[in-house]
Amino acid sequence: MSATTKNDFSGFRLTMMLLGAFVLLFIIAPLLGMVVNTPFKAIASTVADSQVLHSIWLSIWVAMVTSLVFAIPAIPLAYILARYDFPFKNVLNGIIDLPIVVPHSVVGIALLGLIAGDSLLGKAFDSFGINLLGTPFAIALAMAFVSLPLLINSARDGFLQVPVRLEQAALTLGATPSQVFFTIALPLAWRSITTGLVMMFARGMSEFGAVIIVAYHPMVASVMIYDRFTTFGLKYAQPAALIFLLISLFVFISLRFFSRKK
């Protein structure tokens, strides 16, 4: 009986490992193929290309600033969703998740209608001689729209894991709601919040569909790679794509390591 159970478990484990290996192979194979098929000479010349480096740096710093700035209102919203019940709460949750399922070209068009010169916001900035289209601000809006749900949902899940009785005990002892939030809820949910920030940053850095509509120039890395592919073909775009992939992987692993250490 025990031998049969052991064999069944081994067969189950082997099946699970094979299925998992298939998924990993599906992810790794295209990336490995890109590495193998990209000549080192092409990589070296692309690394020295100022346009490539500028586009990658633009993607990184705009995504990072966007994540930090939008975290200021997003984290309190996540706390409200975790702690309070109110009418149409499910509707609000659905609205927050909407950017995940909406085609990103639609997101770009919606943002274009918001900040274009003939819109209310666009006219307000035009009166000061500021054109929002084709600026890092427009890029940041596109990145934030598609990536905010990752931060809000992760932070909300983190706050839900904080025992309510700890906050109630602090309130009973005379703490203010703001003290409870900053000294109990926020520190205990910080790991989930950090994970959400990392995912928001990574998603924003990789955004293409919404960004290309509101800011073809200056080019972020994803737009630059697409431009090279449509203009010169695969061989010219592949080295830039590989470099962006390696830098993104390094940044993402570094942030993950930092968040785990924290």
Token output for 129: 């001689």
**Which residues have a Cβ under 8 Å from the Cβ of 159 and sit 6 or more positions away?**
78, 79, 82, 83, 185, 189, 192
Q: Are 212 and 219 in contact (CB under 8 A)?
A: no
Clarify whether residues 121 and 240 are in a common domain.
Answer: yes
* Amino acid symbol at 16: M
Q: How far is CA 18 from the centre of its chain?
A: 30
Domain span including residue 8: 1-37
Kindly state whether residues 172 and 218 are assigned to the same domain.
yes
Are residues 74 and 7 both part of a single domain? no
Same domain, 145 and 257: yes
Q: What total of structural domains would you count in the chain?
A: 2
Q: Are residues 53 and 18 in the same domain?
A: no
What does the alpha-carbon distance between residue 23 and residue 34 come to, in Å, rounded to a whole number? 18
Residues 6+ apart with CB under 8 A from 68: 197
Mean of pLDDT over the chain: 90
- Looking at the structure, do residues 89 and 14 belong to the same domain, yes or no? no
Reported confidence tier of residue 260, pLDDT bands at 50, 70, 90: low
Look at the pTM and tell me if it is higher than 0.75: yes
Q: CATH number of the domain that 184 lies in?
A: 1.10.3720.10
In this predicted model, what pLDDT tens digit does every residue of 46-73 receive, in sequence order? 989 999 999 999 999 999 999 999 999 9
Q: How confident is the model at residue 122 (pLDDT cuts 50, 70, 90)?
A: confident
* pLDDT at residue 262 tops 80: no
Q: Are residues 115 and 230 in the same domain?
A: yes
CB 151 within 8 A of CB 74: yes
Task: Tell me the two tokens of residue 166.
Answer: 């700890």
Q: Are residues 51 and 29 in the same domain?
A: no
Residue 161 CB: number of other CB atoms within 10 A? 11
> Are residues 116 and 77 located together in one domain of the fold?
yes
SS (H, E, C) the chain: CHHHHHHHHHHHHHHHHHHHHHHHHHHHHHHHHHHHCCCHHHHHHHHCCHHHHHHHHHHHHHHHHHHHHHHHHHHHHHHHHHHCCCCCHHHHHHHHHHHHHCCHHHHHHHHHHHHCCCCHHHHHHHCCCCCCCCCHHHHHHHHHHHHHHHHHHHHHHHHHCCCHHHHHHHHHCCCCHHHHHHHHHHHHCHHHHHHHHHHHHHHHHCCCHHHHHHCCCCCCHHHHHHHHHHHHCHHHHHHHHHHHHHHHHHHHHHHHHHHHHC
| 141 and 87 housed in the same domain | yes
- How far is 209 from 221, CA to CA, in rounded Å? 12
Q: Are both 187 and 158 inside the same structural domain?
A: yes
Measured on CA atoms in the order 119, 122, 126, 132, is the torsion positive or negative? negative
Q: Model confidence over 96-113: pLDDT tens digits? A: 999 988 999 999 999 999
Average pLDDT (219-231) is: 95
Same domain, 238 and 201: yes
